[in-house]
Amino acid sequence: MRLSKYFLPTTRKVPSDAKVPSHILSIRAGLIRQVSRGVYNILPIGYKVIKKIETIIREEMDKIGAQEILMPVIQPAELWQETGRWGEYGFELMRLKDRLGRDMCLGPTHEELITEIIRKEVHSYKQLPINLYQIQVKFRDEIRPRFGLLRGREFIMKDAYSFHATWEDLDKTYEDVKKAYSNIIEKCGLDYRIVEAESGIIGGKVNHEFMILAETGEEEIFYCTNCDFAAKKDLAQINRAIKEAKVNVKDEELIEEIKTELENKNELNEIKEVATPGIKTIQELSEFLNLTPRDLVKTVLVYGEKIGFSAFLIRGNRELNINKVNNFLKDEVQLVSEEQVKDKPYIKLGFLGPVVLKDIPIYADYEIEIMKNFVAGANKEGYHLLNVNPKRDFKVKQYNDFTFLQVEDKCSKCGSELIESKGIEVGHIFQLGTKYSESMKAYFLNKEGNQKPFIMGCYGFGVTRLLSAAIEQKHYENQITWPIQISPFKFHMILINPHKEKLKQIAEELYQYLLKNNIEVLYDDREISAGIKFNDADLIGIPMIGVVGNEILKTDKIEIKNKIKNKKDLILKEDLLDYITTESNI
RNA sequence: CGGGGCGUAGCGCAGUUUGGUUUAGCGCGCUUGCUUUGGGAGCAAGAGGUCGGAGGUUCAAAUCCUCUCGCCCCGACCA
């Protein structure tokens, strides 16, 4: 493609409303333009990248036996009423009426439609399993769209749905898709982790998310330096097996510590009140008592509409994970305010402790169970208690995992070091089970002749989001750096001076030669100054840039900036084709 | 939805507090000509705006008032 003819509007200035690199660069490099909030036009070079990603997705989905279909964007309300999601989905579902006044919606996802197809056409276990996918536009009326294509209201998604006679069969397809997704992301040249997740409004049981690692990710995750363990921060389990010293871990020190804690269980010292005037934070308290935060216990009081007040005990060096608390209590809780407890004189926020909390149920993190003689608040302004011990001094209703995993903790699986990172969710796969087949009465006859609901899986993959995630992960300062696999072109050729006839002739010949040999080349033949060409090339991010300039007149060599391998080369023009093929084939 | 901010030329902005000296200006971009040509060139001449929209106050409104639409940021929420 000749750049002089290509619709590729690059901008020099950073758009004022864009904050993250992928958003800024997608605008500056002419990939997208905004139409309205969370809605974008995708311009030629952006669409080229999307098509590359789609091609990779199709290859991998077809490989596991999935078949591509296309369902409509617009969907009738009746189907959504059948599953109850017409009501549940809220404002995120874009609703509209047709000319006859019938309720319709723009599909944010397609479980209802696919189930409708299958219940009409599939009636026997002999026809199963079946796995259908589409690559299509979705619309979700997000509360707050942001970051360009990373969180748009309209976006391109690959969604797949599978139908099975048995859970075992679903497991098989689920694993196939998991592998396919891994392959897709690897083929796109990106670094990622798979984490367990919650299912949200889609519903179902087992589910995993695929996280592209990037500093600007919206999800906080941990992953292991040694094994494949990775988890979202608000869900990550803390390794209790290590606490019980049942697993072989390298961290001798930690094992020793745990053993000591376990063995010392019997030496309980006498409880003692100590004045701690004006001291409220864990940090202040540990300094005042000359102890570490690990020796203290935090008591956190929460309140939920359904459950009322509950107290949670956690080790002083940890944070209460409200998400885990909510899941545990099956309620939405909040930390209590002074206002809420003003009629309870035995509660002093800042000096909370488990001893004498009257009728408030106490839950404790697993770690508390093996701690002894710890420090806690005295429920009395300006006082704390020393040598507090569970069982003897207070009753714990239940022990569980209530804290955030911390980077100092070891991997829950193998005990190695952890890394804390951020991720961009590009894929989410679910074992739905029979949620939709039951509510929509989608049944088949099994071997025994019994009518059963289909067992379903669904698998989403954000195409436009992957594009942004790729920019986020691979960009370098003000430059996009496309992984060569999804780069809009394989080679970016700059003709420095189109006015020099000889130079121009060489460039034109090279361009034609590369085209003939099926190299996707972006040829900057514009009659503008060289500086603009260099800067545009860096911005656009094709990872191989070749310069046709004085050097080629003297030595027949083309200068190559190779961002795939981060090097510069001088290549004889006869060897150029070979060079591009070799370097881009990774 | 709560809190904050912004709408003036294609883009980025000044002018709004204190209505009139502006024929609404500046930078970038755009057009034409000449020169220049290895990291965002120079000179010259041009084109381009019903100041987001509606209504009101006034002799006079980009500027004051009312309503409205759009967009952005922070938060909760969510793939």
Please identify residues in chain A, positions 404-463, with a C-beta within 7 angstroms of any atom of strand B.
425, 428, 460, 462
pLDDT tens digits for range A547-564: 999 999 999 999 999 999
Separation between the CA of A41 and the C1’ of B7 (whole angstroms)? 21
Q: What are phi and psi of A447, to 5 degrees?
A: -55, -35
End-to-end CA distance of chain A: 23
Nearest one of A314, A315, A294, A322 to A362, comparing CA atoms: A314
A477 CB below 7 A from strand B atoms: no
More confidently predicted of A426 and A295: A426
Separation between the CA of A10 and the C1’ of B24 (whole angstroms)? 30
pLDDT tens digits for range A296-317: 899 998 888 888 888 999 988 8
Separation between the CA of A19 and the C1’ of B16 (whole angstroms)? 29
Q: What are phi and psi of A525, to 5 degrees?
A: -105, 15
- What are chain A's domains? 21-214+431-472 (3.30.930.10), 268-400 (3.90.960.10), 489-584 (3.40.50.800)
Interval A489-517 mean pLDDT: 96
pLDDT at position A247 is 42
Separation between the CA of A13 and the C1’ of B25 (whole angstroms)? 22
pLDDT at position A255 is 57
pLDDT at position A259 is 61
For residue A81, is pLDDT > 80?
yes
Separation between the CA of A467 and the C1’ of B51 (whole angstroms)? 38
CA distances from A571 to A226, A233, A288, A521 (A): 40, 48, 69, 17
pTM given for the model: 0.90
What positions of strand B are covered by protein, i.e. any atom < 7 Å from a CB?
A: 1, 11-13, 28, 36-41, 70-79
**Which residues contact residue A280 at a Cβ distance below 8 angstroms, ignoring those fewer than 6 apart?**
A350, A351
pLDDT at position A407 is 81
Q: What CA–CA distance (Å, rounded) separates A445 from A440?
A: 16
ipTM metric: 0.92
Least confident among A169-178, A240-249, A279-288, A290-299: A240-249
Question: Which nucleotide has the shortest C1'-to-CA distance from A548?
Answer: B38
